[in-house]
Structure 1
Amino acid sequence: MPHQATPAEEASAPPHPHQIANQLRGENAAVRELLLALSVGFTLPGPLPEELERRMADGQAEGMEALVARAEASGLLQPGGTVAGAVQKAVLTATPTPRVQALQRELVGCYAAEDRPLGELARELARSGLADQRVAAELEKAGDRALEHHPALAGQLYDEALLAGADEMATAARRAQSAWATGDLDSAGRIIDTLLICPDPPDLQRGADVSAAVWAQRGMLARSADVYSWLGPERVGPSGPAAAVALIGHGNRAGAEAMFPAGSAPSSPTFLAVAQAQTATGLMESLSAEPHRGLLLLIHASDTLNASGAALPMPDVPGALAALVALHSGEPHLAEAIAQTAAAAGQGGDAVKPRLFLLQAWAAMQQNNPDEARLAINEASKTNHWPLVPRDEFLGVALEVGLARRSGEVHGLILAWERAREAMLHTTVDLYNLLPWGELMIAAARLRETRRISHYLEEAWKLLRDLDNPPLWSIPLHWAAVQAALLSESPADVAPHAAALVRAGDNSHFASQLASAGKAWVSVLAGSFKASDIEAAARGLNAVGMPWEGARLAGHAAARADERQDMLRLLSCARDLHPQGNSPGASSEGQPEVRGAPGSAQGSGNGAVRPDASVLSEREKEVARLVLEGKTYREIGETIYISPRTAEHHIARMRRRLGAENRSDLLVRLRLALEAETPQTSDSPAAPMGAVSVAGRPTN
């Protein structure tokens, strides 16, 4: 049965609109006029509409106190002079729109006469449909005040200003900036397109900045550079530093210097202008043979922009650029701190925060902290309700590739690579995304997919040549090329990149360590190395923030060491650089730790655990010996007359039984297990390189 209202509920229920309308018709005209004025926005005490004031002055209506008392007695006016919501709606509905808007304009005039701001009333008037330039102007000013620090609010205010009659083109650049700052790139781009096709667009510099920022976030920094080239040095004005950032990123240093000549002072002494000028100057310094001052200037720029709290459209923020320069300098811990501080300060607003989190993730990955990296990736994906922009999406998938590669999970690497292939199609090469391209270069070599990335790599090398091969920006890509060449077993391809690292080593400790590591890798591949040299190179990689790479080098060398003592020394080095348990559930390829398998026994005097071959079947031991000879699945199958798939299954079972973390770990365990069964003499032939994949090439 339907609920029957009690007398108490009926008494407290709001009156029906028809009841209110009937009650209003029963009141005298003066009371209705008073209620209409208060519903429109007039207040008590205060000036009221001229018509009502005139009628009271002529005696055609009761005095104000009597009118208020009558309205309160009828329940249409609340104590304090406010009109109840239901009554206000009924009054405004019953009154013709022209009459309501005439009273609204009169109200605006009262505020203007007293030089009082409309405040929230302006928003209410605009939303009610009042077109009045005074209201529009006040909403525009309110939007301007909110734009740099509260862009979402600014966007609402500009939209309401349009409702009140603001000029669409005059507000276009500011509306686009608010859309960009909140991550709505599509809306920002559409607004800017309508502006830039005008013969003489207003607020042109701001419009160019927004357009360039949108293109940059879309992963097309070349188009950002085109925007500023179209604007030209004669019109760029205070946007010169932003233009320099875009043009340097595109490989056009001469164009950047035309926009912002070396030694230029900030356009004003404000935080924003100083931060922008330091950003451009720091980037130019980073291109020099001794780029250390560039990092210092970029950190200063990031700190200054953090202090300002403003979100300005620019191709990239100084916090991100400083973090990139730190990563390119072999200081991932510093990069992580810079990006964390910038994100906490809200540098660049919500639009930039995902990029700062992803750079934190990259620094964490490089320092072999995969859990922290994934936490930062998660933060980037939930920063705002918009999907990641193409630039950030590309960086994110490259991170996934890097994490999968380091975990040793081939299936995960293949899935991440497929996502990366898709993301590549939506971005272009620029100076500020060389790290992800380097990571993808290594993964492509690992997966024999180099053809899918070769075109992009050609663009990357050309960009660096256009900038006269700046050492700082070139070093990580040369190192990635060395790694890719090693994976592809192309010693000839190693030489030019190794030589570049050696040359850069004169002014860069980072490059010097990478050059030593590259030399060590070549010696491991050649099967002729000293354990002390490998250990020094591995620890050198750790010193420049690359512990995973150092442990991987030591682990691979351990699997190829002729002497058991050297093998154990290198295993100990690998454990030092990559202690097991740092990343639960993830195996890190190339960093073996000799653990006990079921039935294993402790080795004596060295703390190592010697796997026991008794857990392996005779067929598995036969397969194990062939694996240690460096044979692929196919070659194993041809040798003992089994299918490559069966060989793969045998190896997978051996890995599980011996508790191996990864391929390199498996090879070390197999070697130790077989040595225990049939000890090798000191002049036995060395085992092939530790990490040999199904294609017979070193894994990475």
Structure 2
Amino acid sequence: MNALLATSGTALVHPAARRLLADVSADPGRPVRLTVVAPGGYGKTALLDALGAGYRAAGVEAVLVDNADRLGEDELDRLTALADRTDAPMVLAHRPRPPAALRLLGEAFGRRTPGLRLSPLGMEEVAQLREKLTGETTDIAAVAELHTRSGGVPRLVVRALTGGLAEFRGELAELDDDVLRYLLAAEAGAGRNLDLLSVLLGRTPDRLPEVVDGARATGLLGTDDVLLPLAADAIRAFSPPARRLATLQRLVDLQLGKGLPVLDLARSLLDAGGAGASAAAAFAAAAREALPADAALAARFSSAAAASGARGTELTAGWARAAALSGDLDTALRLGDSMLGGEDPGTRATGAEIAATVLAHRGELARSAELYHWAGRGDADAFAAIALVGTGDLDGANRLLGSPAAEVVPTLFAGAATRMAHGVAESVSPGGAETLSTLVGAAAMLEPAGGGLALPDSPAALAALAGLHSGELALAESVLTRALTHRIGGDLLATRHRLLLGWVAMTAGDLATAAEHRDAVSRLGHPLEARDELFFATLDLGLARRASDLVGLQHAWDRAYQASMRQQADLFTLLPLGELAIAAARAGAHAKLARQLDRAHALLARLGDPPLWTVSLAWHELHAAITMEDPAAAEAQLATLTRHADHGRYPATMARAARGWLAVLSGTVDPGEVAAAAAELHELGLCWDAARLAGQAAIRTADRKAMVHLLEAARQFQGSTARREPGASEPAGATGLSALSERELQVARLVVDGLTYKQAGSKLFISGKTVEHHMARIRGKLGAGDRRELLAILRELLAQHP
């Protein structure tokens, strides 16, 4: 490498700069006349340092002037005279828009040598600079992020890599006052608002370009004149605090005075620690703007407004709604409760509605209904009616629905609430045929409202529950997905919608998808309210049961049981209670649930044992009885299912499947009847239940031909869920032993021969844990529900292919 390039330093990677160094190195004595133009931080100083080192090494006297735009008139005159009388190399570096005398000198230079304009670094140059400064090999993602945040400005790249952003503190403090205020305004999002800038800077719009030129010269703006992300970070952190606060407050005051949105400006003011009456007004206005899209931010603004002295019902109510929507129910309840003692009836009603909403999420439907009715508003009465049905008081609900409050404004919200209530009331009628249609329609009505409504429950969640109780799984999944997409009910109900999606997937036998929804809720990292905790814990419990995970089942049982004790029994938590009943039977703890089940049966009896809600609980209790080997209890649940069999396809299917289960247990299997019952379960989307019934029937029949037929049906039903164990793969169209690898076949033969996992591992020179892993994969491929069923399937298949 030549002398000049060798002295160029690690920071000089700009291609144009390196080409100049190479040219000068080839002929150091050439009388160069050159201007180097670029905003601050683009590498002008580094280039002049490299040129100076190279000229000194070559013994050449050169005139190198940095920051030439800062020279006074006398200094520029002397520099011009020097250029006329010497042939020594002369390089002047300056920022764009130089003084007139310097511009004329640059034009004279340009007649001999074109000037050099330094542009931002590209991705390749940023990667080179990063590697030189850190010694790290190229990471495309890291380089791309660095390039985006720095805009390729060398100074920003270097300071980001070396932790030197604090060096901007002194530089920002020395900026021209107008330029600094412009940069502060740009960081707050007002960099293109000419009206605001004109008033802030006291300039007419035609004089603003002067300030923008000064801001460009700092090197903190991108080529589109937008503040670069790293520059914005530096301004937030290191600009003079008092100057920043004053500028932000002035911008907010101007925007508020015009009645225009202040959200972005108020966000910057909040981060800067703004306080006082003006800040309070800005924060309150910003809270109203933020609520539909970001409830947590709205709650933060509301809190800041109150801390700055703002008061009033509107602020308190908005804060409470924002807190509820963001999941901070303690704050919402505290604020709602504080409004109950207000002198204004509207204030008391709003407080009651907020408190009622919180209590519904905490599983206190009876108290929630009382508060909603006390509020005395149309939509509040609708929610009260829903809660009353949920607690078994259909007469009370009908009285509210039959005498709607006067002068109710017919908003979408009020209409959706009323339709929700009528849908829930319909659900406890003998047929309940219109329930799903009514609830889905109510869900569609709320979609335009997005996440700004604090709801005790959503029509989508209620529709999904009705779908789960009636075998309409596809409809349940669809309405929940739409609710998540439209953010109905904000973050608070997003958790409920996600959990119910997990329940839909689990009910369909798609355990992998169900686990994904469960894990997505886990990653939220905040405690769940009583109702959501119950659905989460029983979803975890159901997944462990279906995977025959005994350790996981015991762990999940403890959490689910505790959750059930914190939740008052109601119509909308029968599914978790049913899953808990089966797990309790397996854990030998069924007696612990007796009182909860009794309360559930009493609730259903008060509602006339509505088929929609009764059948699913009876189905779960049937399986609990089967697990406990209690024929009398199983016959009682069969009788319940049979009594409702005439009320639709779902009850009829569950009754037929229940008869099949009892036949299986008694050893009087009719293979054709069981296969037909399992097929009907499958048609309803209950693939796991279908496979389980067929599989258990197969291992309990002495008819080999019937066994093969039922095993094949079980595999088909289980396979239709598209579930696979982690790491498992299956060739398209592979069934039976053809789906297993050679190693899996070896493992299967040894385990079927009666060897333990450890013994089989010793024969194959692998660990017992690896054998266990292989068996888990085999179970997934063959669609077996548990180890007993898997061994039965393998014995049959291996007998056919010795």
TM-score, shorter chain, exceeding 0.5: yes
The alpha carbon displacement at 1:328 in A equals 0.7
Aligned partners of 1:244 and 1:256 also within 8 Å: yes
C-alpha separation in 1, matches of 2:529 and 2:66: 57
Choose the corresponding residue for 1:160, options 296, 304, 323: 304
Counterpart code for 1:380: V
Matches for 1:391-540 after TM superposition, within 5 Å: 391-540=531-680
Choose the corresponding residue for 1:287, options 422, 428, 437: 428
1:370 to 2:511 alignment: yes
1:222 to 2:366 alignment: yes
Choose the corresponding residue for 2:461, options 276, 297, 320: 320
C-alpha separation in 1, matches of 2:252 and 2:404: 54
The alpha carbon displacement at 1:182 in A equals 1.0
Choose the corresponding residue for 2:470, options 282, 305, 329: 329
- CA RMSD of the aligned region, Å? 5.1
Counterpart code for 2:379: P
The alpha carbon displacement at 1:117 in A equals 5.1
Q: Could you tell me which residue of structure 2 aligns to residue 663 of structure 1? A: 788
SS at match of 1:260: helix
Matches for 1:53-132 after TM superposition, within 5 Å: 89=241, 119=262, 131-132=276-277
C-alpha separation in 2, matches of 1:394 and 1:122: 39
The alpha carbon displacement at 1:45 in A equals 5.5
Q: Could you tell me which residue of structure 2 aligns to residue 177 of structure 1? A: 321
SS at match of 2:600: helix
The alpha carbon displacement at 1:166 in A equals 1.9
CA-to-aligned-CA distance 1:274-309 (integer Å, 9 cap, x gap)? 222211111111111121211101101111211222
C-alpha separation in 2, matches of 1:612 and 1:418: 37
Aligned partners of 1:123 and 1:160 also within 8 Å: no
Choose the corresponding residue for 1:252, options 386, 390, 393: 393
C-alpha separation in 2, matches of 1:504 and 1:598: 43
Aligned partners of 1:205 and 1:239 also within 8 Å: no
The alpha carbon displacement at 1:220 in A equals 3.2
1:354 to 2:498 alignment: no
The alpha carbon displacement at 1:559 in A equals 1.3
Aligned partners of 2:736 and 2:797 also within 8 Å: no
Choose the corresponding residue for 2:381, options 220, 240, 244: 240
C-alpha separation in 2, matches of 1:238 and 1:615: 63
Q: Could you tell me which residue of structure 2 aligns to residue 547 of structure 1? A: 687
Aligned partners of 1:397 and 1:419 also within 8 Å: yes
Q: Could you tell me which residue of structure 2 aligns to residue 563 of structure 1? A: 703
Say if 1:668 and 1:271 are closer, same or farther in 2 by CA, change over 3 A. Answer: same
1:576 to 2:720 alignment: no
Q: Could you tell me which residue of structure 2 aligns to residue 192 of structure 1? A: 336
The alpha carbon displacement at 1:106 in A equals 14
**What stretches of structure 2 of length at least 5 have no aligned partner?**
1-45, 50-64, 71-154, 156-166, 178-189, 215-234, 729-734, 757-767
Q: Could you tell me which residue of structure 1 aligns to residue 219 of structure 2? A: none
C-alpha separation in 1, matches of 2:361 and 2:597: 21
Q: Could you tell me which residue of structure 2 aligns to residue 274 of structure 1? A: 415
The alpha carbon displacement at 1:438 in A equals 0.7
Counterpart code for 2:604: L
SS at match of 1:171: helix
Aligned partners of 1:555 and 1:574 also within 8 Å: yes
C-alpha separation in 1, matches of 2:545 and 2:509: 12
Counterpart code for 1:284: A
The alpha carbon displacement at 1:668 in A equals 5.1
Sequence identity, in percent? 33
Choose the corresponding residue for 1:386, options 526, 547, 555: 526
Counterpart code for 1:307: P
CA-to-aligned-CA distance 1:530-589 (integer Å, 9 cap, x gap)? 11111111111112221211221111111121221221221122122113994323899x
Counterpart code for 1:575: R
How many residues of Structure 1 are paired with residues of Structure 2 in the alignment? 582
Aligned partners of 1:248 and 1:256 also within 8 Å: yes
C-alpha separation in 1, matches of 2:433 and 2:305: 48
SS at match of 2:646: coil
CA-to-aligned-CA distance 1:418-448 (integer Å, 9 cap, x gap)? 3322322332322111111111111111222
Aligned partners of 2:581 and 2:620 also within 8 Å: yes
C-alpha separation in 2, matches of 1:119 and 1:545: 50
C-alpha separation in 2, matches of 1:188 and 1:182: 10
Aligned partners of 1:173 and 1:204 also within 8 Å: no
Say if 1:482 and 1:320 are closer, same or farther in 2 by CA, change over 3 A. Answer: same
Q: Could you tell me which residue of structure 2 aligns to residue 53 of structure 1? A: none
Aligned partners of 1:323 and 1:359 also within 8 Å: yes
**What stretches of structure 1 of length at least 5 have no aligned partner?**
25-40, 50-64, 73-83, 94-99, 601-608, 621-648, 678-700
Counterpart code for 2:683: A
Aligned partners of 1:557 and 1:570 also within 8 Å: yes
CA-to-aligned-CA distance 1:238-294 (integer Å, 9 cap, x gap)? 322222222222222223233333789993333222222211111111111121211
Aligned partners of 2:378 and 2:414 also within 8 Å: no
CA-to-aligned-CA distance 1:81-140 (integer Å, 9 cap, x gap)? xxx9989656799xxxxxx99xx89996x989x7555846777888766543x7645643
The alpha carbon displacement at 1:145 in A equals 4.0
SS at match of 1:314: coil
C-alpha separation in 1, matches of 2:334 and 2:662: 53
Q: Could you tell me which residue of structure 1 aligns to residue 437 of structure 2? A: 296
The alpha carbon displacement at 1:317 in A equals 0.5
Aligned partners of 1:658 and 1:666 also within 8 Å: no
The alpha carbon displacement at 1:376 in A equals 1.9
C-alpha separation in 2, matches of 1:586 and 1:106: 55
The alpha carbon displacement at 1:465 in A equals 1.6
Choose the corresponding residue for 2:479, options 327, 335, 338: 338
Counterpart code for 1:260: L
Counterpart code for 2:371: V
Say if 1:586 and 1:139 are closer, same or farther in 2 by CA, change over 3 A. Answer: closer
Aligned partners of 1:534 and 1:553 also within 8 Å: yes
C-alpha separation in 2, matches of 1:325 and 1:480: 16
Aligned partners of 2:255 and 2:262 also within 8 Å: no
1:616 to 2:753 alignment: yes
Say if 1:244 and 1:587 are closer, same or farther in 2 by CA, change over 3 A. Answer: farther
C-alpha separation in 1, matches of 2:600 and 2:349: 30
SS at match of 1:506: helix
C-alpha separation in 2, matches of 1:88 and 1:659: 66
Q: Could you tell me which residue of structure 1 aligns to residue 127 of structure 2? A: none
Counterpart code for 1:186: D
Aligned partners of 2:477 and 2:504 also within 8 Å: yes
C-alpha separation in 2, matches of 1:338 and 1:168: 38
C-alpha separation in 1, matches of 2:298 and 2:776: 63
C-alpha separation in 1, matches of 2:252 and 2:474: 60
Q: Could you tell me which residue of structure 1 aligns to residue 350 of structure 2? A: 206
Aligned partners of 1:438 and 1:481 also within 8 Å: yes
Say if 1:616 and 1:553 are closer, same or farther in 2 by CA, change over 3 A. Answer: same
SS at match of 2:623: helix
